[in-house]
Structure formats: C-alpha cells, structure tokens
Amino acid sequence: MKTSTLDASKVFYPLLERGWFCVEDIVVRSVARIIVPFIQLYGFYVIFHGHLSPGGGFAGGAIVASSMILYGLSFNLEAGSRKLRHDVSTVLESGGALWYLLIGLFGILVGGQYLTNLGAGFYRGVPGQLFSSGMIFLLSMGIGAKVASTMITLFYSLSGGEDSGGNH
Amino acid sequence: MSNHIPVLIIVLVLGASFSIPLVARWRKTLIFPAAVTPLAISFGLSLYLFYLVGQQGAFSYHLGEWEPPWGIELYVDYLGAYMIMVLSSISLPVLVFASRDIHHDIREEVVSWYYTLYLLLIGSMMGIALTNDLFNLFVFVEISAIAACGIISIKEDRKCIEASFKYLILSALGSGCVLLAVAMIYMITGYLNFDYVAATMTEALSLYPYNILIALSLLIVGFGVKSALFPLHVWLPDAHSSAPSPSSAVLSGLVIKIYAVALVKMLFRVFPTAIYEVVPVLDIVLFLSVLAVVFGSIFAMVQDDIKRMLAYSSIAQIGYVFMGIGLFGDRALVGGLLHIFNHAMMKAMLFLAAGMIIYATGIRRIKDLKGIGVRMPLTMAAFTIGAFAMVGIPGTSGFISKWFLALGALDLGRPFYVAIILLSSLLNGIYYFPIVVNAFFGSKIEPHPEHKDVPASMLIPILLLAAGVIFFGFFPGPLLDLLEQAISF
Amino acid sequence: METIENLINNYYYFVAMVLFVIGFHTMLTHSNLIKKVIGMNIMDTSIFLFFVAIGYVHDGRAPIFLNGVEDHAYVHPLPSALILTGIVVAVSVTAYALSLIVKLYEHYGTVDADEIALIRSREDS
C-alpha cells in the first residue's frame, strides 16, 4: 500500500511499527466518504430481503461491517474504532443472539414447538413482498446486527485499534 | 409443557451464556448468580428428563413443527438424558470452584467472558448429546471446539496461547474430516436425519460401498482427534495442563467424552451394524484404545508437573471408553459409557484438587508436594479418593466401570483385554500412589507467608465430587439399569 | 479406462478432494502458523465445494419462481444453505486462530512453529 506523495520508508514503516497506519491518499478518502453510506444501504437491503433473494443475515451483516472497515482503513484506524463503542457492540452482539432465542420461545408460548413460524401467528403476508414469511424477517435482523457487530469488533481488535483485547 | 424440556435446557444455557456480557455491563456482582442459576435449573430439568424418558420411552422433538426430513429433530433417549445429566451435574461444582479460582489466573476485565465461554461450551455439548440431525451435530461440534479453545486461551500466558492454538488447528482438522463424512453420507442417502439415513443406508451399502467406508474412516479420525484417541492425542497434554484449573476439569472431564458419545451415536445409530462384521473398524478402535490405555499411563509416569500427569492420565482413561466401544458387547458398552460419568467425576475432582493446591501454595511439581497432606487434609483426602478410584479399588466408582469392561471382554471370549485392564490399573497405581504417600507421610511443608487459606467455596465442590465417587461406588444400580436401556439402539 | 472417464465426468469431486488433501497437508507440515491457517481455509473451502457440487442438478436453475414459469429443473437449495452456515463457522475459526497468532507474535517474536518450540525448550531446560 504505497502512499502517493510521501516516501514509504519514512512514513509507512514507522507508523506500522507503532501498529497504526492509514492511507494518506486524497482519492481514497474522497471515494470512501461517498461510498460508505451506499455500502451500508446495500447491506441493510441484503439483510431485510433475506427471505426473498440470496443473502440473509450473514451476508448482509458482513457487508455492513465491511463499510465500517473501509472507513477505518481509509481514514484513521483509531477514529474508526471509536465509531462503534465497546458497550454498544456488546449490546448488539448479545442482543442479536438473545433476540433469536426469544423469538423461538414465542412458539412455545402459543402452544406449538420451539421456533414455530406461521403456527405461532407471525404475519404471513403475500410471498414475494417485503413484510412476509413471518419470523424469518425478524431473525435476519437479529443475525445481521450480531454478525456486523462481531466483524467490526474483530477487525478493530486484530489491527491493534482502540482496545485490543479478547477473542469473541 | 413437559415435552419442551429438551429444547428448553439448551436454550436456557445458551441464553444465559449470551446474556452474561449484558449482566456484566449492568452490575458485576450479579455475574456469578446469573451463571450458576441456569446450570442449576438445567440440572433439575435433566433429572426430570430421566423421569419423562422412563415414563413414555424415547421421544423426539421437532423444531419449528417441521416433520423430520425437512426439519431438525432432537431425539431424547436414555443415552441423551444420561449425557445431559453428566454434563449439568459435573459442570455445576466446577463453576462454583471457578468463581473463586479464576480471579488469580486471568485479568479482571475478561472474567465475565470466561463465564460466557463456559456456558456456551456446556450448552453446545448438550446440543451434541440430544441432536438427531447430521449437520446440526457438526454445528454444535464447531461451537464447542471454539468455546473449548476459548476457555484455555483466556489466560493470556505464553504456554496457554500456544497450547490453545495447537488444539484449535487439530480440532479444525477433526471438524473438517467430520464435515466431509457428513457430505459423503448426504451424497449417497440424500437425508440428514439419523433415522432416515439409517433407513436408506442398508440399500446404499450395496450401491456405494466406498463412500460409506470413507465416511466411516473419516468419522473415526475426526472424532478421534477431538477426543484424544491414542495416536491423535498430541494436543491434549499441553492444552489441559496449561489451562486454568476449572477449564482443565471441564475439558478432561466432559469435552473429550462428548465426542466419544457423538461417535457412538453415529456408529451405532446411523451406520447399519451389519457393516462391522465385514469392515474391522471396531477392531481398529479397540487396538488403538489398548495402546492408549497402556501408553497413556507410561507417559504419565515420567511427568514432573502434576497437571501434565493428570492430562496424560486422561488419555489413558478415554482409552477405556473407546475399549468399551470397540469391544461392542452389551456389558462392555455399559462399562465404557459408565466410565464416562465416573471418569468425569474423578478427573474433575482431581483437577480441582490440583487447582486448590496451586491456588493455596503455588506448587506444581510433584517432587515439591511432600507433606502437603498435613496442611490441606481435606483436599488431599479427596485426592486420595480420586487416586483410589482411578486405580479401580473396590468401593469407588472407578471399580464398577472397569469391572463391567472386564466382564464384557470375558463375555465375548477375549480374556486378553482383561489382562490389559489389570495391567493398566497397576500402571495407574504406579504414578498415583507416590503422590498420596508423599503427601501424607513426607516431610512437612514450611508455612510460607504467601500461602493462602483454603476457601470454602472451593472446597465444597471437591468434597461433593468425592462423595459422589464413593456413593456411586456403592450404589451403581440405577445408573447401570439406565445404561442397559441406553444401549438398545 | 473407466476410472479416467469417471474422473473426468465428476471433475468437481476430484478437484475438491485434491484441494482437501492440499489443505490437510499444509495444515500439518508447514511450520509457519499463518500457513496452517491458510491450509485450514483451503481444506474447508474444498469441503464446501464438494457439498455444493453434490446439490447440483444438470441444467438446473436457482430455486426461485420467475414470472409463473414453474416446471424447470431446480438445484436443491439445502446444500447451499448448509454451506452458508459452514462458511460462517470457518470464518469464526479463522478469526480466532489469527487473533491467537497475533498474541503469539507478541509473546515470542516469531510466527514459525519450529522456532517457538526451540524457544520453549530453551526456557524449559
């Protein structure tokens, strides 16, 4: 990753030794500033349309995370790692998984088995529309939140960002 | 409501595991009650599960109201209920011990993550015990692999991280082999549910013999790596000896066993038993288990560090379980499965006692343990009971499982294995008894100002497990009846 | 030459097995820890390729209804859904292994397994 205007050995290697680097390039920064919201929008599209088109929670969550990783790589790794604070990411991760488990419990409360979809009274709708297929829509949101938060946390802790601890 | 118990046990433990980071953000003193309560409730539910299975026979639970070939099924029979009971009953005292012990091993900020990983491990192992679906089994196997490596590497010591990395790589190898076996089975039968696969397997056997052979061998290699069968055991000594003591107790006591149980479920429920007369798969397992039993003890004899010796002893003892599987007689299999519970109790207690010694005095080398029995009498008494149970002295539970293994070997007309069991018991004695003798009759350890007192919350789990060892040595009846019904696949 | 004909017809499975063995061998023999992780990824990818290739139906399409055209050969969606889960599992294991390698590098200063064993044996003796 050579910088365009500065000498690599004077700027890049000392920064790399301190475990912190950013690409000091005006083109990358401008393009990233424009593109990051679109990547996030696409990621949310993939998450919400999990029951209609390929993708779902995992792929959409990874796309949303990649937008934050692009932000961190092209601007400043420390500023990027502060975008998703530790307590927010903890709530998103644990909340996503607990959301999944609690939605499954609905089926038991209504009288069917665990993780019952239409039998538990989730809204069926017309197949092919956005608000259809009962609980798959809700589960994708939980999975998407969890995967996105996990990927962002993993990237920032592996690259020596704000707090480099833990192996969740 | 009663039918939902199987899935509720797993959901309870997994839900508790996910909610502990939230509880830790809210109030730190509530972490331990929030972790112990679901395990205690699941222990109660597991006993109720026995009652249910006794009443209505084995039953299955369909997730999401989808019938079996399309949906995931949980099948609760005696073997599943037995493993749930083993998991919840052993993990509870170890967690109580861990609440006091881990504070000196790991940093303060990550203590809540230890509970999360611990509960995730126990929850995923419960999933392995109950599931009836091939791919669901694989997913739970992977979750438990990551969680098991997590509770080793959470102590950020050089040796722990290296041991955990070695365990992770070898475990990923095993998981890859298991997934390829699942792919092979799916390829020829088109189903992922155990019962449906078993129904179509008999006709697939004549059409595609090679696929089934490959699947069988990959399963044995894959689950053998993860449960430390003899030549594939190389990750175990480092991993179990450098981990924090409660992690070692759970790893040696429960994790390696659940993969053996998963192998039992796959070998005897998925594949037709007629195949074992043609392909000598079980003989290979038997041969490797004999090597494990003998060489595990021989390696343990030359060890210097007490936890490393206990880890090598685990390799030998898991050999007994595989010997029970390999002999494939009724009483041998009962002996092998009973040894799962007995060894879990004994080895957890031994690791907790070793952890107590390290906590109180910081001594890890066997040579330096002279006279420690005078300072810590109850701990060393529990260690002595554990040593007696490992050797198989009548009156302890270890004797019952070895007795049934020997009876099973005699049933099949193979007295060689009785000789192996006796030889290995003798070898077990060679490295356990010097510790016990030295502890009580050696010279006294000088009281050092850094030595800590023995806290009650760490002593009570050890004594509870020791009482369990003696109790099940005198009254093994209910367990034996249960297991005799569990093996009727 | 029936075996050669079978191999050429089922080249997906053959390539998947070759990749599996390459990944397996890399995981076990190369001493660089990052190469072991890469080997694990190659091995997992080969199994996913094998699984997805099993589900393929000749001349099949994705199982989505298009404008009322309903009778056409559809590829079985189950293996693809299983592999999605498998990929996520492989990613988690890779992420965890890489974070362990970062810690090991901090402690030992090298990512070579043989050198780490040498340093360990020197400090143990």
**B181-211 per-position pLDDT tens digit:** 999 999 998 889 999 999 998 888 888 888 8
* Cβ contact B12:B80 at 8 Å: no
User: How distant is the Cα of C61 from the closest Cα of chain A, in angstroms?
Assistant: 14
Confidence at A56, pLDDT banded by 50, 70, 90 = confident
Terminal C-alpha separation, chain C: 59
* Cβ contact B222:B177 at 8 Å: yes
In sequence order, what DSSP letters do the residues of A83-143 get, joined into one string?
Answer: TS-HHHHHHHHHHHHHHHHHHHHHHHHHTS-TT-STTTT-----BTBSS-STHHHHHHHHH
Q: Is residue A164 part of a domain?
A: no
Q: Which CATH number fits domain C2-124: 1.10.287.3510, 1.20.1630.10, 3.10.20.30, 2.120.10.10?
A: 1.10.287.3510
Q: In the predicted model, what is the mean pLDDT of chain B?
A: 89
Q: How far apart are CA B111 and CA B109, in angstroms?
A: 6
Rounded mean pLDDT, B173-181: 94
Confidence at A23, pLDDT banded by 50, 70, 90 = low
Q: How far apart are CA A12 and CA B279, in angstroms?
A: 61
* Cβ contact B188:B208 at 8 Å: yes
Q: Which amino acid is at B90?
A: I
Domain positions in chain C: 2-124
Rounded mean pLDDT, B18-36: 89
Confidence at B146, pLDDT banded by 50, 70, 90 = very high
What does the pLDDT read at residue A3?
Answer: 43
> Percent of chain B at pLDDT above 90?
53
Model confidence at A146: pLDDT above 70: yes
What does the pLDDT read at residue A20?
Answer: 56
Confidence at A21, pLDDT banded by 50, 70, 90 = low
Q: How far is CA B444 from CA B304, B354, B360, B439, B447, in A?
A: 20, 18, 15, 9, 9
Q: Residues for chain C: how many in total? A: 125
Q: Give the residue numbers spanning the domain of B357.
A: 284-489
Model confidence at A62: pLDDT above 60: yes
Tally of domains in chain B: 1
A59 to chain C: closest CA residue: C84
Model confidence at A163: pLDDT above 50: no
Q: Is residue B77 part of a domain?
A: no
Residue in A87, A94, A101, A168 to test binding to B, most B beta-carbons within 10 Å:
A94
Q: Is residue B63 part of a domain?
A: no
* Cβ contact B282:B203 at 8 Å: no
What does the pLDDT read at residue C60?
Answer: 81
| Displacement of CA A79 from its chain's centroid (Å) | 17
Q: Which of B160, B131, B157, B155 has the alpha carbon at shortest distance from B144?
A: B131
For B26-62, the three-class secondary structure string (H helix, E strand, C coil) is: HCHHHHHHHHHHHHHHHHHHHHHHHHHHHHHCCEEEE
- The SS3 call for residue C69 is strand
What does the pLDDT read at residue A7?
Answer: 53
- Interface of A to B at Cβ within 8 Å reads 87, 90-91, 93-95, 97-98, 101-102, 104-105, 107-108, 112-117, 119, 165-168
Model confidence at A168: pLDDT above 50: no
Q: Is residue B198 part of a domain?
A: no
* Cβ contact A17:A160 at 8 Å: no
Rounded mean pLDDT, B354-367: 86
| Displacement of CA C74 from its chain's centroid (Å) | 26
What does the pLDDT read at residue A167?
Answer: 42
Model confidence at A156: pLDDT above 60: yes
- The SS3 call for residue B311 is helix
Confidence at B179, pLDDT banded by 50, 70, 90 = very high
Q: Is residue B76 part of a domain?
A: no
8 Å CB contact of B64 and A98: no
For B153-181, the three-class secondary structure string (H helix, E strand, C coil) is: HCCCCHHHHHHHHHHHHHHHHHHHHHHHH
Q: How far apart are CA B422 and CA B426, in angstroms?
A: 6
Least confident of A119-133, B170-184, B185-199, B376-390: A119-133
Taking 3-state DSSP, the helix, strand and coil percentages for chain C, each rounded to the nearest 5, stand at 75, 5, 20
What does the pLDDT read at residue A130?
Answer: 81
Instruction: Please report the ipTM that was assigned to this predicted complex.
Output: 0.94
Q: Give the residue numbers spanning the domain of A14.
A: 8-158
Model confidence at A11: pLDDT above 70: no
What does the pLDDT read at residue A16?
Answer: 56
Residue in C34, C49, C96 to test binding to B, most B beta-carbons within 10 Å:
C96
What does the pLDDT read at residue B445?
Answer: 66
Which of A115, A119, A168 minimises the CB distance to B63? A115
What does the pLDDT read at residue A162?
Answer: 40
pLDDT digits (tens, 9 = 90+) for B337-351: 999 999 999 999 999
Bridge partners of C32, per DSSP, are C112
Burial class, B410, CB count within 10 angstroms (exposed 0-12 / middle 13-18 / buried 19+):
middle
What does the pLDDT read at residue B361?
Answer: 84
8 Å CB contact of A101 and B15: yes
Close Cβ partners of B104 (under 8 Å, ≥ 6 residues apart): B359
| Displacement of CA B315 from its chain's centroid (Å) | 11
Q: Give yes or no for B145 touching C (CB within 8 A).
A: yes
| Displacement of CA B388 from its chain's centroid (Å) | 20
Sort out which chain B residues have CB atoms less than 8 A from C23's CB and list them: 176
Q: Is residue A79 part of a domain?
A: yes
Rounded mean pLDDT, B61-66: 86
Q: Is residue A59 part of a domain?
A: yes
User: Could you say which residues of chain C have pLDDT below 50?
Assistant: none
- Interface of C to B at Cβ within 8 Å reads 20, 23-24, 27-28, 33, 36-37, 40, 43-44, 47, 50-51, 54, 78-79, 82, 85-86, 89, 92-93, 96-97, 100-101, 103-104, 107-108, 116, 120
